[in-house]
Amino acid sequence: MGELYLHNTLSRKKEEFVPLNPPNAGLYVCGPTVYGDPHLGHARSAITFDLLFRHLKFLGYRVRYVRNITDVGHLENDADSGEDKLLKKARLEQLEPMEVAKYYTDRYHDMMDALNVCRPSIEPNASGHIMEQIDMVRQILEAGFAYTVNGSVYFDVVKYNKQYHYGQLSGRVIEDLISASRDNLEGQDEKRNSVDFALWKKAQPEHIMRWKSPWSEGFPGWHLECSAMGRKYLGEKFDIHGGGMDLLFPHHESEIAQSQIANGDTPCKYWMHNNMITINGKKMGKSLGNSIMLRDFFSGTHELLEQAYSPMAIRFFILQAHYRSTLDFSNAALQAAEKGLSRLLKALDTLDTLKPSDVSSFDVNSLKKDCFAALNDDLNSPVAISVLFDGVHAINSVSEGKETLAKEDIELLKEFYSTVIFDILGLKKEEKGNTGLTDYLIKFVLDLRQKAKENKDFATSDKIRDELKNLGITVKDTKDGTVWEIS
């Protein structure tokens, strides 16, 4: 189906995809930090690399797809305290940090399942790979590119930059960099240079998540986990590393530096970054307070939403923009995506009703060729979808008797549309009555009920059960958990 070309952030150009060990392909994608529900921006990254995963498999590659779960070490600059956001959430909700991580990991999976995002081949947790991270810190220290201060270990960016180039991915120069990294604000005075970043942090007395290391009882820096887990599951050099544009600096830049010193090489051959989703031209994000959670899209309960949107409408909306372009949220765009998807799926059904002719009045193979050429051109999903709609116009014209299709071309179109729509773009038909959206909403309500039970708020728990029963949904508590069915 032609050669695949991907835009490599490192070279800033499209390059032919040539895997290191064909037909195997290694793909590592930075996953969620599990201290809250996912929003539309998380969905875009997941759907972007789900499209890549699906298309690579379609092209015949055996893909090992690794996507991590960050449940420790993600320290972001916080105006108040620089506190680990997962720990902050645990403290607010009076839960163990791992309870928070497990809860929001499950929520992330539920919502990605609703969006028909494939589960990765391996999904490692940062907290389950502390020893691998300690080993990498030790290697960097032994190489002379890190230093210890009061039980914490920092990567010496200035020393590294003298021999290599810190900033090769983002195009930044070290003289212009300011200390805007995602390290904890605490300990800035410990660093030799403001641009240095933490490989290991000594835990303060109130810090719950801590592990023993040669330097202190503490926890790994955020940048370290992907370098260590990527190496463990994909090797010292793998094919593709992906993530959101917001991770390009300093996270991915720091990954390159760590791997260069510990492994003697950069971690991967191709870097890919999806762009952000905006609202009124501003980046959507939790830290900016303007993010719309996926649960709100599914239920239509956010003040900016005019209605509820199905998971497939959201997926189609995201796929209609190229992954490297910004995508601005609007109700009009989502409603147009909803109508467009309906039209596309209806044409697929129309194919089953067409009466074949002796000859075809248009070239089906040309349509197929153009669509796959677009997908091979750096995953140009909007152009591929545009080609599909050209076909929709032709299919409808045949149905109206304006054009003709031979039997073999009808069968070819059925196979082609099914492959692209379902297998590569990852769309699916949402059956009425018991959609993936319905499943998600019921599970969401049951999660609220479970939380009420844990808080011994049995009145609320019983009310939720009774209201669901009134809607024809029977809820049963068993020794293996809560189960439900629609009567």
CATH at 303: 1.10.730
Instruction: Assess whether 177 and 34 both reside in one domain.
Output: yes
Q: pLDDT digits over 282-314, tens only?
A: 777 666 677 899 999 998 888 889 999 999 999
Per the domain annotation, does 200 fall within a domain? yes
Only one residue has tokens 């999903």, namely: 381
pLDDT > 90? residue 409: yes
* 444 and 361 share one domain: no
Out of 213, 245, 274, pick the residue that ends a domain. Answer: 274
Look at residue 473 in the predicted model and tell me its pLDDT: 83
User: Which is more confident, 431 or 416?
Assistant: 416
Residue at a domain's end among 274, 297, 317: 274
Q: Are residues 87 and 211 in the same domain?
A: yes
Q: Is pLDDT above 50 for 164? A: yes
pTM of the complete model: 0.86
pLDDT for residue 459: 83
Q: Do residue 318 and residue 289 come from a single domain?
A: yes
**Is residue 93 predicted with pLDDT exceeding 80?**
no
pLDDT per position as a tens digit, 201-253: 999 887 888 999 999 999 999 899 999 999 999 999 999 999 999 999 999 99
Sign for the CA dihedral angle at 121, 125, 130, 133 comes to: positive
The radius of gyration of the chain from alpha carbons, rounded to an integer in Å, stands at 25
Number of domains in the chain: 3
Mean pLDDT of 174-182: 55
More confident of the two residues 175 and 60:
60
Span 247-280, pLDDT tens digits: 999 999 999 999 999 999 999 999 999 999 998 7
Q: Are residues 186 and 58 in the same domain?
A: yes
Structural domain for 306, as ranges: 278-424
Residues 316 and 342 in one domain: yes
pLDDT, mean of residues 341-353: 94
| pLDDT of 363 strictly over 80 | yes
Name the residue with higher pLDDT: 351 or 449: 351
Domain boundary pick from 221, 239, 274: 274
Distance CA 312, CA 429 (A): 8
Whether the per-residue pLDDT at 337 is higher than 60: the answer is yes
**Residue 434 pLDDT class (50, 70, 90 cuts):** very low
Q: What is the pLDDT of residues 35-83, one digit of tens each?
A: 888 999 999 999 999 999 999 999 999 999 999 999 886 543 333 334 5
Q: Above 80 in pLDDT, residue 87?
A: no
Per-residue model confidence (pLDDT) at position 286: 65
Shared domain check, 120 and 149: yes
Q: What CATH number is attached to the domain comprising 37?
A: 3.40.50.620
Mean pLDDT for all residues in the chain: 88
Residues 420 and 393 in one domain: yes
Predicted local distance difference test score (pLDDT) of residue 401: 92
- The rounded distance, in Å, linking the Cα atoms of 110 and 438 is 12
Please name which of 49, 38, 15, 466 lies closest in space to residue 274, comparing C-alpha atoms: 49
Residue 17: inside a domain: yes
Residues 174, 115 share a domain: yes
Q: What is the pLDDT of residue 80?
A: 31
